[in-house]
Amino acid sequence: MTEFTPTPADQFTFGLWTVGSIGRDPFGEPTRKPLSAPYIVQRLAELGAYGVNLHDNDLVPIDASAAERDRLVSDFKAALNDHGLKVPMATTNLFTDPAFKDGAFTSADARVRAYALQKTMLSMDLGHELGADVYDFWGGREGTEVDAGGKLLDSLAWFRDSLNFLADYSESQGYNYKFVLEPKPNEPRGDIFFPTAGSMLGFIATLDKPDRFGVNPEFAHDTMAGLNFAHAVAQVIDAGKLFHIDLNDQKMGRFDQDLRFGAENIKTAFFLVKLLEDTHYSGMKHFDAHALRTEDEAGVWAFAKGCMRTYLMLKEKARQFNDDSEIQAALSAYRVEDSELEALSKKFSPENAQALKSRTFDRSALGTRGPGLEHLDQLTIDLILGMR
Ligand code: GCO
Ligand code: MN
Ligand code: MN
């Protein structure tokens, strides 16, 4: 069905590390050959993606010579140019190298913290050169397995100092980066600092330049922890901080699976897409997932197409939901409006407080009303399953 074929206007992005995943896991060797960055650019453009994101070391190996770096970057830029793909987001790999085994910005070793700053500044330079305007911080190693080191409060301060430093660096260079902080509860660390979107929002308020920082929530990360991702995203939207989003899927309570978007929790995915579309989210929709380890290269492109197709199908379902008169009637019936009480409750005044205190409520009627959620939810299921 061609109507669910993406175009760059849909603003779908993938990472070099996502479609480029070679299928390694903690128990097994790679099952696929590496794909070159220019080849990934070509294939993603053919599939209708808008852009490709990267960590510094997805493109330039950590020990590359200056000449090698220049060649890799120029081949990549040529491919971007040839195929019209953008690099909207860049980030730093602060988790693979053993130097970061006990944290990067939150390492107890001041030398590691300084090296993390150096590596991030260089990576920000690269991202800027490639046109990125969003810079992501996923603190994969920023955490602990044991707290015997006693660095909990220090880690928060070190992380804050690092982000303040890098925001100032960005400004001093004339970069216009918006920074996004990506929460994850665990994996690879036993406990990662700032495990939820709410923790990130609270932390952002303590930074020197909070306006430059937003959140990059990820479907799998909340789901691993048994949380409802749509609820987390709603809170980030309410705070005006949804600058980027990582879409994928995950079974609750499992290891980090990074499944194809919509592969598992179709109902939450539907309410998420509806939320993004209803609120006119205008940032990138990044699929931070990878093909199953069982797959060959054809499976990788089937995976990438599937992520985008499912998003577009759910977007169409959200449109149908909003246009469905029976669903809209059930929604109206769910809400009880009372303009007088709403006016009294909206804002405190001594008069409003007094009026509410002296009001008589029919508590038993309030407790016996059936809001019709079973009916409404079944209508939603019928719609998602294509029966309406
Ligand atoms: C994960 C994370 C990463 C980050 C990426 C960009 O669980 O491994 O989601 O994929 O998104 O490192 O910062
Ligand atoms: Mn993840
Ligand atoms: Mn992610």
Mean pLDDT of 196-223: 98
Catalytic residue among 55, 128, 244, 286: 55
244 catalytic, yes or no?
Answer: no
Give the right CATH number for 8-323 from 3.20.20.150, 2.60.130.10, 3.30.1130.10, 3.40.50.2000.
3.20.20.150
- Asked whether the beta carbons of 269 and 220 are under 8 A apart, the reply is no
Q: State the pLDDT at residue 73.
A: 98
Task: Report which of residues 352 and 3 the model is more confident about.
Answer: 352
Q: Is the dihedral of CA 214, 218, 219, 221 positive or negative?
A: negative
Percentage of the chain exceeding pLDDT 90: 99
Pocket test for ligand 1, best of 16, 288, 290 (most atoms within 8 A of CB): 288
Question: Is residue 111 predicted with pLDDT exceeding 60?
Answer: yes
Residue with the smallest CA separation from ligand 1 atom 2 is 138
* Nearest ligand by distance to the CA of 259: 2
User: If pLDDT is split at 50, 70 and 90, which confidence band does 3 have?
Assistant: confident
Average pLDDT of the chain, as a whole number = 98
Scan for tokens 């952002």, then name that residue.
204
246 labeled part of a ligand binding site: yes
Angle at 245 between CA 243 and CA 248, to 5 degrees: 180
| Residues with CB in 5 Å of ion ligand 3 | 218, 246, 288
How many whole angstroms from 186 Cα to the centroid of ligand 2?
10
Q: Is 258 annotated as a binding residue?
A: yes
Average pLDDT, integer, range 237-241: 98
Tokens 């508590």 correspond to 363
- The catalytic residue among 58, 136, 222, 249 is 58
Specify the pTM.
0.97
Q: Active site includes 56?
A: no
Most informative mutation of 218, 224, 256, 257 for ligand 1 (most atoms within 8 A of CB)? 218
pLDDT of residue 281 exceeding 80? yes
Q: How confident is the model at residue 80 (pLDDT cuts 50, 70, 90)?
A: very high
In this structure, which ligand is nearest to the CA of 138? 1
The set of protein residues with a Cβ atom below 6 angstroms from ligand 1 is 91, 136, 138, 182, 184, 218, 246, 256, 288
Sequence ranges of the domains in the chain = 8-323, 326-384
